Amino acid sequence: MILVQNLLQLLNGNKIRVTTLLSLLAVMLACSKKHLSVQQVAAVDTVISVKQTDSAFLDRYTELASTGVGCISLILPFDLQRVNFKKATLQDITQRQIALGFYEGFTIGLDSAAKRYQKSFKLHVYDEGRGVKDLQKLTQRDVFKKSDLVIGPIFEHNIKAISAYSKLYRIPIISPLLTTSIDTYNNPNQITVNAPVNVHARRIARYVVAHLKGIKKVYLVTAQIPEHPRFLLELKKALDSFSLKTIRVMEIDPQKLVSRDSMSRIGNVFVIASSKKQLITSVIGNLHKEFKQGDIVYPIHIFGHPNWRNITFSNLQQMQDLNVRITANDVLDVNDIDRQRFVNLFRKKYKLAPNGYAYRGFDIGLCFGNLIAQYGANWLFKIDSLRYQGLYQYFQFVRNADYGYYNNCVHLLRYRNFKLERELE
């Protein structure tokens, strides 16, 4: 059972049929089957300072151990103060699509965990949209300090405000879309569900060494001023580590690619460390001219940056011929039975198909709901032994004493059958 409380700035109303995204937002904010306590955080003009103490952590630990009821705070950018349902356009509600989709998927996942273990959760939902000052005020509320887990905020400037108090009160915090380096917030209570760049780099290096036998060189295609210097640095380190420095790593300019005479008949590996579509397509086009000469094939394997997921490429035949692969935090198997069940449940409940944020919310809700329901007050001590395979993401966490827990699992995708598919190893 989930008790939903404290959704800031709720709109009162009756249940209505959901036919558009705007009407769905109105329905979610209406008082329907759940009993919602409407409370508003007042604005403050100054930053409130708090002396460090363990009392809140001890109170929270004792309460969860004695009651078995997990308390989760969810902070999402509904930004309800500026919603005008009569005049709003799709552009106006882009960030609300994130909030709404994640909320819907999360509650289904959390409810599934509650039913599985016959446990209850208190879910406090807050509006991120009003900014840092209100979030600072929120952190002073006793109910927030007693959270067993805080999920959100989404936006980076708000994450900083909550992260400081997460560290102060030893409250685990997840920002669902955070992709920055794990050392950004210096918070040992941070749980990073999107794998940091070093994990992506190690995934590529491990595949090259394990599956592309006989490779002696890896070419890093990068401009003189690299777009992704951290990615390049981590990739070099990973290749040296996995190959025991038997693979030579060479940086080359996108305008000065290797000639066919320098290519190997065994295989040639290129990593294009760019997110600029024009540069990427130019390099791939030039390499495609070189990979085959008559009956002689010079196998080429290209690895791209994770940001390529956001780019639409038109010549997929070239991508397939050159064995283009990228790493990704998430992947959706449209034929998966569990995914189909989730879609049916989501459609039945909300009258719409789930978006990517809904899948992400479901996985986080189910995964961490299971942990809290199963282990109670000790759930955080079990996270580094977790192996979770979700609909959208896989979780396998590694602990860093200074920077918290980060997901060590990413997918390797390959262009095959004119689409991106998961590379099976």
Per-residue model confidence (pLDDT) at position 21: 45
Residue 244 included in any domain: yes
Both 30 and 53 in one domain: the answer is yes
Residue 425 is assigned to a structural domain of this protein: no
Helix (H, G, I), strand (E, B) or coil at 23: helix
Return the pLDDT at 360. Answer: 96
- pLDDT on residue 34: 36
Q: Please check whether residues 88 and 128 belong to one and the same domain.
A: yes
- pLDDT value of residue 15: 28
**pLDDT per residue as tens, the chain (425 positions):** 554 443 333 222 222 222 334 444 444 444 333 322 223 322 222 222 223 334 444 454 445 544 557 899 999 888 765 655 555 555 556 667 888 999 999 999 999 999 999 988 999 998 886 677 778 888 888 888 888 999 989 888 888 888 888 888 889 999 898 887 778 888 999 999 999 999 999 999 999 999 999 999 999 999 888 889 999 999 999 999 999 999 999 999 888 888 777 888 888 999 999 999 999 999 999 999 887 766 778 899 999 999 999 999 999 999 999 999 999 999 988 889 999 999 999 999 999 999 999 999 999 999 999 999 999 888 999 998 999 999 999 999 999 999 999 999 999 999 999 999 998 77
Which amino acid does the sequence have at 293? Q
181: domain CATH number is 3.40.50.2300
In a domain, residue 414? The reply is no
In a domain, 148, yes or no: yes
Global pTM reads 0.82
How far apart (Å, rounded) are the C-alpha atoms in residues 20 and 167?
Answer: 40
Measured CA to CA, the distance from residue 334 to residue 391 in angstroms comes to 10
Query: What is residue 45's predicted lDDT score, i.e. its pLDDT?
Result: 24
Tell whether 321 and 404 lie within a shared domain. Answer: no
Domain boundary among 267, 300, 328: 328
* Shared-domain flag, residues 136 and 215: no
Residues 87 and 137 in one domain: yes
Are 315 and 396 members of one domain?
no
Is 339 found in the same domain as 210?
Answer: no
Given this model, what pLDDT does residue 407 score? 96
Got the DSSP string for 369-397? HHHHHHHGGGGGGGGGG--EE-SSBEE-E
Yes or no: say if 151 and 75 are a contact pair by the CB < 8 Å rule.
yes
Identify the three-state secondary structure at position 122. strand
pLDDT at site 32 = 33
For residues 207 and 179, membership in a common domain is answered with no
Q: Tell me 249's DSSP state.
A: E
Same domain? 203 vs 180:
no
Q: What is the pLDDT of residue 67?
A: 52
Q: Of 310, 328, 346, at which residue does a domain stop?
A: 328
Residues 238 and 356 in one domain: no
- 421: in domain: no
The verdict on residue 424 lying in a domain is no
First CA to last CA distance, the chain: 40
Contact 386/397 with Cβ under 8 angstroms? yes
Do the domain assignments include residue 112? Answer: yes
Does one domain contain both 26 and 161?
Answer: yes
Mark 182-194 as b/e (b = at least 16 C-beta within 10 Å): bebbebbbbbbbb
Q: Total structural domains in the chain?
A: 2
The answer to whether position 416 is within a domain reads no
**Nearest CA-CA partner of 8 in 94, 164, 128, 115:** 128
The domain boundary residue, chosen from 328, 345, 360: 328
Examine the domain organization and report whether 174 and 36 are in the same domain: yes
- What pLDDT, on the 0 to 100 scale, is given for residue 20? 36
Per DSSP bridges, beta strands 397-400 and 404-407 are antiparallel
Torsion sign (Cα): 70, 341, 384, 375: positive
Helices vs strands, H then E, count in the chain:
12, 19
Range of the domain at 370: 2-194+335-409
